[in-house]
Amino acid sequence: MNQGKYEAISRILVAIDGSEASNKAVALGAEMAKSMAAQLAILHVVEIEELPSLIAEAEDEGEEEMGQMILGDAAKISKVYGVEPTIVLRKGHPVSQILHYADTYRPQLIIMGSRGRTGAKKALLGSKSSAVSRRAKCSVVIVR
């Protein structure tokens, strides 16, 4: 049995999309951060659509406001557990932005919700949480 060194969890990243599963991920992340005296960062990515610029700018503002509300709700959840999170809003492709932020923040654990896509839609679109778990440099927990 290989007994590699275990790195204590000092930073947890929770990537959220506003779904019920991502709210559960925030609760788990906050509970773990509290029990391990770890830092908690909560990240939401506003997905950028490729549209004509005037439409994209107007839609982008609405999406950014929605992202801020999603992050505000997540911060409230974490504060119930006595944890003051770092709140991060990014724009772009969600998987790429989550992995890029993780490279900078260097968490020992990423927690995400699963939206529960099944069948053909999952096969065609793939799962953001699955993509992050395959490519992340740390452990990933997917909450249902």
For residue range 80-93, what is the model confidence (pLDDT) as tens digits? 999 999 999 999 99
Domain count, the chain: 1
Q: Is residue 6 part of a domain?
A: no
Q: Is residue 91 part of a domain?
A: yes
Q: Is residue 4 part of a domain?
A: no
Q: Is residue 52 part of a domain?
A: yes
- What pLDDT, in 10s, does the model give residues 13-63? 999 999 999 999 999 999 999 999 999 999 999 988 665 555 555 556 788
Q: Is residue 24 part of a domain?
A: yes
pLDDT at residue 70 tops 90: yes
Domain range for 60 is 11-143
pTM of the model: 0.86
Q: Is residue 97 part of a domain?
A: yes
Q: Is residue 3 part of a domain?
A: no
The domain that holds 57 is classified in CATH as 3.40.50.620
Q: Is residue 90 part of a domain?
A: yes
Residue (of 111, 134, 97) closest to 30 by Cα position: 111
- Residue identified by tokens 């990423």 is 110
Rounded CA gap, 102 and 137, in Å? Answer: 8
